[in-house]
């Protein structure tokens, strides 16, 4: 008998800012996003099963005009003050043009001082296009004091160049190759934006991606201008004994007046955004790594001396990443690899430095051979860091190292191609973490993040195609290449990509061409996953290429062998080296596709989109009984988890409707039984069980509603959580008890899985707020020997208002008040609380002596954390909106980049009821009308208002 799979397909939607689970079952947190997709029900056909995938990716255009934007630093001395900036102009991919001039060599000299820094740049300039007519040389610049400019050794006169708030323009440069020398004066001590060169906690540091280099010197600050750099740094030897930059250390020595210097040379071409400099008082952990060709690489992690003991895991992570990225893994590291990874990429220098800084806008930055990290993504000890911290360090250290090839050796031509370095590298770090842990659990975590923060953004005014800047969304598109071509075909494509483009700045089309050429294949409509036309107001979407991995499950719960499938009149025989095939990838290329499976002996239950083979939202005609069947039997563990999530989402939406109609809430006993069967299944991975029994987040449910109702969703989620805890109490208690351990902390999958299950069960139990459970949580808190279990117990206790909660929070702070990273966790836990009226507590914490508005990590923990509590941020009285509006304006004068991330929480204000819309809109209008507002915040706020 033949069975048909029919799918009417459509298109794909953009990006966002939304809410996720803090401890899954307990409360909420916020993240950001990936490619969104909506879905419609498929039509019923006899002897067939159907689904519809509506996959749309949208770009959001900058709208609105303004008269001025302030710069992102505190006011410099009067001599450098400039007129207000012109209104920012939106840049479109279609307007890209090659640079008129190329920079072949760049020699930088820094004289670091306590009040000012002098920067001298000497650049070898050549024409950008053969035979082109001489054009003005336009250089970017921001917050700079120009001291001199010379061409071929001759200082230019006033009429030969012009300077405005954004550019320095040389009117008539010489024909052919010439030398350009520019001297500028900057003020890192006043630079609170943490972009360009700034001073933080006594050390100098840089952050140049995306446009920070123009705050150091006048330059063609664009990724397609690649040059070889040397950098000489001069500074006081006592204050700044360590002087670091990219590449190899060529020379160092002492100078008069107690100063010293270091000369660095980077032998590889790079764009300006990868330049880095660090100077300060730092100690280092040193190790080495022998590459597959036998070269010895010195590895150093630099941090204040007192933090060196906390760098061991980061060093382990770096060595693991280096080994994994090479051709052969010989299992010399504590974790064995699940696979021998297939990139074959060897590190290309003799030195690799990582520097740890407490004040950093990003998590980390991949500057060539000199990675700079925010402290929380390097520093870890069992007493102060959770399993999540350890996993994040492993992934991010790997990610930044992997950039050495995917981003540094081959970089993006323009920022519209950002996914080519970020999406590709995220895919690589996902594979790395999967090989060192549990692949299914990692996939669930990545897809959850995609749905939690990306899908909602894609449905709002911040929607955009993957070209501009969606890391995980880009990773999903890269993953589709591997899905279609297989591991060996993907490797061939990567090899050809590096062979063709090493040392170049390239486009998504270049990557597509390498993949297809290496496999002698084409993927029709595939680039439309990246080149997305419409956004809100543009309903017509073109069909896109969607690979859908499918299996068929028989009535006994076993996979059916798939022998052949017919599509468009073509019969394809399915086999793998003569062995049966149980999963196949169907290629959806048109608006509607029909696939007919041959030799299917009974009506199957389809297992669709296995492993989440494409970043779409899938709506199917699978019945509730089908979903419970897959939850119990599907061999694809991702789809097993997904079946439970679909059931939970449907249940929650149904109960939300009941709540809104003031009906009595009743929990479906089949749902309870389904979760009980997962909880008690000893054959399943414990971390998978923890994921499978965790309810979808509030934001995910609100995103599925025509009008988001945070109060109803919060009430329903709490009801389900407490009902599950009540009906599964004995099983949950048994899981907590059986997963205790007196062994010393180890970071490996089995130990992490045990702790994850124990902590998830404890969170459920604590929601009951019963004396025996409170005593249990207090016992777990007091006896915990590691931060993972101690903090989880604290989070469980903090669910319920009262003296026990207050005492536990105070005890935790008193114990860890001298560790700023642990204190940030303490801020986040209180900020994300769903306790009614929590905005008052958060406002008080702004004045806490441990909080610092200039530290991005603390801002993200406290203010960002508050935005992740839907019931409080979206409080009906508007108190949450008012709080954020005031904080954004305060923060914008300190660090516009961080402020713009906070204001993004307003971006989907139209998703709520009229009362909330009016309150949120008022705050956005207040922000947009503020004097001296930065470009960063203005762009996000104005887009949100224009939606």
pLDDT in tens, 113-171: 999 999 999 999 999 976 566 799 999 999 999 999 999 999 999 999 999 999 999 99
* Strand 3-8 relative to strand 48-55, pairing: parallel
Q: What share of the chain is helix, strand, coil (3-state, %, to 5)?
A: 40, 20, 40
How much is the pLDDT for 336? 43
Q: Which residues pair with 620 in a beta bridge?
A: 51
The CATH superfamily assigned to 546-615 is Aminopeptidase N, middle-beta domain (2.60.40.1840)
Cα separation, 101 vs 41, whole angstroms? 54
pTM of this prediction? Answer: 0.90
Residue 199 reports pLDDT greater than 50 = yes
Residue 687 is a catalytic residue: no
Note the pLDDT tens digit of each residue in 852-898. Answer: 999 999 999 999 999 999 999 999 999 999 999 999 999 999 999 99
Averaged pLDDT for residues 314-327: 94
Catalytic residue chosen out of the listed positions 400, 700, 789, 935: 400
What pLDDT is attached to residue 455? 73
Residue 145, φ and ψ in degrees, nearest 5: -105, 115
pLDDT band at 1 (very low <50, low <70, confident <90, very high): low
pLDDT in the model for residue 4: 65
Position 38 pLDDT exceeds 80: no
Angle CA(71)–CA(408)–CA(612) in degrees, nearest 5? Answer: 95
pLDDT band per the 50, 70, 90 thresholds, residue 480: very high
pLDDT (0 to 100) of residue 474: 86
What pLDDT sits at residue 91? 81
Return the domain boundaries, the chain.
Answer: 103-281, 410-518, 546-615, 622-800
Q: Are 701 and 30 in contact (CB under 8 A)?
A: no
Looking at residue 525, its pLDDT comes to 78
- Within 10 Å of residue 85's Cβ, how many Cβ atoms? 18
Question: Is-same-fold flag (103-281; 546-615)?
Answer: yes
Q: Which residues contact 445 (CB under 8 A, 6 or more apart)?
A: 691
Instruction: Write down the mean pLDDT value for the chain.
Output: 88
Closest by CA to 350, choosing from 294, 297, 290, is 297
Q: What is the pLDDT of residue 675?
A: 97
Arithmetic mean of pLDDT, 513-523: 96
When pLDDT is cut at 50, 70 and 90, the band that residue 398 belongs to is: very high
pLDDT of residue 528: 67
Beta-carbon neighbour count of residue 114 at 10 Å?
11
Count CB neighbours of 88 within 10 A.
16
- Could you tell me if 581 and 560 are in contact, meaning their C-beta atoms sit under 8 angstroms apart? no
Query: Is the separation of the CB atoms in 630 and 605 below 8 Å?
Result: yes
Pair of tokens at residue 727: 């009906």
Q: Are 216 and 206 in contact (CB under 8 A)?
A: yes
Longest dimension (CA), the chain: 90
Residue 25, pLDDT above cutoff 50: no
Instruction: Indicate whether 535 pLDDT > 70.
Output: no
Q: 114-119 contacts: CB < 8 A, separation 24 or more?
A: 114/189, 114/239, 115/187, 115/189, 116/185, 116/186, 116/187, 117/185, 117/186, 117/187, 117/188, 117/197, 117/204, 118/147, 118/183, 118/184, 118/185, 119/183, 119/184, 119/185, 119/186, 119/197, 119/216, 119/217
Least confident of 386-390, 544-548, 550-554, 582-586: 544-548
**pLDDT tier for residue 461 given thresholds of 50, 70 and 90:** low
Tokens of 863: 């203010």
pLDDT band for position 607 (50/70/90)?
Answer: very high
Give the model's pLDDT for residue 918: 98
Burial of 89 (0-12, 13-18, 19+ CB in 10 A): exposed
pLDDT value for 129: 73
Spatial separation of the C-alpha atoms in residues 292 and 327, rounded to whole Å: 8
Task: In whole angstroms, give the CA distance from residue 558 to residue 555.
Answer: 7
> Can you tell me the mean pLDDT for 732-758?
97
**In the predicted model, what is the mean pLDDT of residues 620-637?**
96
What Cα–Cα distance (Å) separates residue 79 from each residue in 5, 116, 559?
71, 13, 75
**What are the tens digits of pLDDT across the range 551-588?**
999 999 999 999 999 998 899 999 888 889 999 999 99
The CATH-assigned architecture of domain 103-281 is Sandwich (2.60)
The whole-number pLDDT of residue 544 equals 80
For residue range 439-452, list pLDDT tens digits in order: 999 999 999 998 88
Examine the pLDDT at 17 and tell me if it is beyond 80.
no
pLDDT of amino acid 77: 41
* Percent of the chain predicted with pLDDT > 90: 80
At residue 92, the pLDDT reads: 85
Burial zone of 100 (CB within 10 Å; 0-12 exposed, 13-18 middle, 19+ buried): middle
pLDDT computed for residue 132 by the predictor: 60
CATH number of this structure's domain 410-518 = 1.10.390.10
- Rounded alpha-carbon distances, angstroms, from residue 726 to 76, 198, 672: 61, 54, 10
| Inter-CA distances, 301 with 264, 283, 710, Å | 18, 8, 44
| Mean pLDDT on 383-408 | 98
Contacts of 888 (CB under 8 A, 6+ apart): 899, 902, 903, 927, 937
Model confidence pLDDT, tens digit, residues 787-803: 999 999 999 999 999 99
Q: Which residues neighbour 565 within 8 Å (Cβ) at sequence distance 6 or greater?
A: 571, 572, 574, 584, 586, 595, 596, 597, 598
- Residues, the chain, total? 947
Cis peptide before 210 (omega within 30 of 0): yes
| Listed residue (249, 194, 237, 221) closest to 99, CA to CA | 221
Does 465 score more than 60 pLDDT? no
pLDDT of amino acid 686: 98
Does the pLDDT at position 42 exceed 90? Answer: no
SS (H, E, C) 842-880: HHHHCCCCCCCCCCHHHHHHHHHHHHCCHHHHCCCCCHH
| CB of 12 closer than 8 Å to CB of 532 | yes
Give yes or no for a contact between 925 and 945, defined as CB atoms under 8 angstroms apart.
yes
Q: What is the pLDDT of residues 406-440, one digit of tens each?
A: 999 999 999 999 989 999 999 999 999 999 999 99
Give the sheet arrangement for strand 167-170, strand by strand. Answer: 137-140, 167-170, 161-163
pLDDT at 591: 82
Here the tokens at position 304 are 């204040």
Pick the CATH number of 622-800 from 3.60.15.10, 1.20.1730.10, 3.40.50.300, 1.25.50.10: 1.25.50.10
Answer yes or no: are the C-beta atoms of 2 and 420 closer than 8 Å.
no
């Amino acid at each position: 008998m033949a069975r048909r799979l029919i799918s009417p397909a459509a298109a794909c939607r953009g990006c966002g800012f939304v809410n996720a689970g803090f401890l899954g079952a307990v409360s909420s947190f916020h993240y950001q996003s990936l490619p969104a997709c909506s879905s419609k029900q498929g039509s019923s056909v006899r002897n067939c099963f159907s689904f519809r995938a509506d996959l749309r990716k949208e770009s959001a255009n900058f709208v609105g005009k303004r008269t001025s934007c302030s710069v992102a630093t505190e006011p410099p001395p009067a001599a450098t003050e400039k007129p207000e900036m012109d209104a920012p102009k939106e840049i479109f991919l279609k307007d890209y043009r090659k640079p008129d001039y190329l920079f072949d060599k760049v020699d930088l000299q820094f004289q670091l001082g306590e009040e000012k820094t002098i920067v001298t740049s000497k650049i070898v300039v050549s024409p950008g296009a053969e035979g082109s007519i001489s054009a003005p040389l336009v250089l970017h610049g921001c917050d700079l004091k120009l001291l001199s400019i010379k061409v071929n050794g001759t200082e230019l006169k006033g009429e030969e160049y012009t300077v405005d708030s954004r550019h320095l323009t040389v009117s008539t440069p010489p024909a052919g190759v010439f030398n350009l020398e520019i001297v500028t004066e900057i003020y890192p001590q006043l630079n609170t934006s943490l972009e360009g060169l700034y001073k933080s906690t006594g050390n100098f540091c840089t952050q140049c991606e995306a446009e920070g280099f123009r705050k150091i010197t006048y330059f063609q600050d664009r990724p397609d201008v690649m040059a070889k750099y040397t950098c000489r740094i001069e500074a006081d030897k006592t204050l700044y004994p360590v002087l670091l930059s990219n590449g190899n250390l060529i020379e160092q020595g002492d100078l008069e007046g107690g100063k010293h210097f270091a000369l660095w040379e980077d032998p590889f071409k790079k764009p300006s955004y990868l330049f880095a400099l660090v100077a300060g008082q730092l100690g280092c952990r040193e190790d080495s790594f022998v590459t597959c060709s036998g070269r010895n690489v010195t590895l150093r992690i630099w941090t204040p001396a007192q933090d060196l003991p906390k760098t061991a895991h980061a060093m382990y992570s770096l060595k693991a990443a280096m080994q994994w990225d090479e051709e052969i893994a010989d299992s010399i590291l504590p974790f064995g690899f699940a696979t021998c990874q297939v990139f074959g990429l060897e590190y290309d220098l003799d030195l690799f430095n990582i520097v740890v800084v407490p004040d950093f806008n990003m998590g980390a930055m991949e500057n060539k051979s000199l990675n700079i990290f925010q402290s929380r993504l390097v520093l870890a000890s069992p007493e102060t860091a959770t399993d999540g911290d350890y996993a994040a360090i492993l992934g991010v250290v790997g990610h930044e190292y992997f950039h050495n090839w995917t981003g540094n050796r081959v970089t993006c031509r323009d920022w519209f191609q950002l996914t080519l370095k970020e999406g590709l590298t995220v895919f690589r770090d996902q594979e790395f973490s999967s090989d060192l842990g549990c692949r299914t659990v990692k996939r669930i975590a990545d897809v959850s993040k995609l749905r939690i923060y990306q899908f909602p953004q894609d449905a709002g005014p911040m929607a955009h195609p993957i070209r501009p800047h969606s890391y995980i969304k880009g990773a999903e598109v890269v993953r589709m290449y591997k899905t279609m071509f297989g591991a060996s075909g993907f490797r061939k494509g990567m090899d050809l990509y590096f062979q063709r483009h090493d040392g170049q700045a390239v486009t998504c089309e270049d990557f597509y061409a390498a993949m297809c050429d290496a496999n002698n294949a084409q993927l029709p409509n595939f680039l439309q996953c990246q080149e997305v036309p419409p956004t809100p107001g543009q309903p017509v979407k073109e069909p896109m290429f969607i690979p859908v991995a499918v299996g068929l499950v028989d009535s006994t719960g076993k996979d059916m062998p798939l022998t052949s499938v017919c599509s468009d009149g073509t019969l394809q025989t399915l086999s793998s080296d003569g062995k049966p095939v149980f999963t196949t990838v169907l290629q959806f290329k048109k608006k509607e596709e029909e696939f007919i499976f041959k030799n299917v002996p009974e009506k199957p239950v389809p297992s669709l989109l296995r492993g989440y083979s494409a970043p779409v939202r899938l709506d199917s005609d699978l019945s509730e009984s089908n979903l419970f069947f897959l939850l119990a039997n599907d061999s694809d563990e991702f789809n097993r988890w997904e079946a439970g999530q679909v059931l939970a989402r449907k249940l929650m939406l149904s109960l939300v409707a009941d709540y809104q109609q003031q009906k009595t809430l009743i929990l479906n006993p089949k749902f309870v039984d389904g979760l009980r069967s997962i909880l008690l299944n000893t054959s399943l991975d414990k971390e998978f069980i923890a994921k499978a029994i965790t309810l979808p987040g509030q934001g995910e449910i609100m995103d599925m509603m025509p009008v988001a109702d945070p109060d109803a969703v919060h009430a329903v989620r709490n009801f389900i959580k407490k009902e599950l805890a009540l009906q599964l109490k004995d099983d949950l208690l048994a899981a907590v008890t059986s997963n205790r351990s007196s062994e010393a902390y180890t970071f490996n999958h089995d130990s992490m899985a045990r702790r994850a299950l124990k902590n998830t069960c404890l969170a459920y139990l604590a929601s009951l707020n019963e004396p025996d459970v409170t005593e249990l949580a207090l016992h777990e808190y007091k006896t915990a020997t590691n931060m993972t279990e101690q903090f989880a117990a604290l989070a469980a206790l903090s669910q319920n208002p009262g003296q026990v909660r207050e005492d536990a929070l105070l005890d935790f702070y008193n114990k860890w008040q001298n560790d700023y990273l642990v204190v940030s966790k303490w801020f986040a836990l209180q900020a994300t609380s769903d306790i009614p009226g929590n905005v008052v507590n958060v406002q008080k914490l702004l004045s806490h002596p441990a909080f610092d508005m200039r530290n991005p990590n603390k801002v993200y923990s406290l203010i960002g954390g508050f935005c992740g509590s839907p019931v409080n941020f979206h409080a009906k009285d508007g108190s949450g909106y008012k709080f954020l509006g005031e904080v954004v304006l305060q923060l914008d004068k300190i660090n516009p980049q961080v402020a713009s991330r906070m204001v993004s929480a307003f971006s989907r204000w139209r998703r709520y009821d009229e009362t909330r819309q009016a309150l949120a809109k008022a705050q956005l209008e207040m922000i947009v009308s503020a004097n001296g507002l930065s470009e960063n915040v203005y762009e996000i706020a104005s887009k949100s208002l224009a939606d």
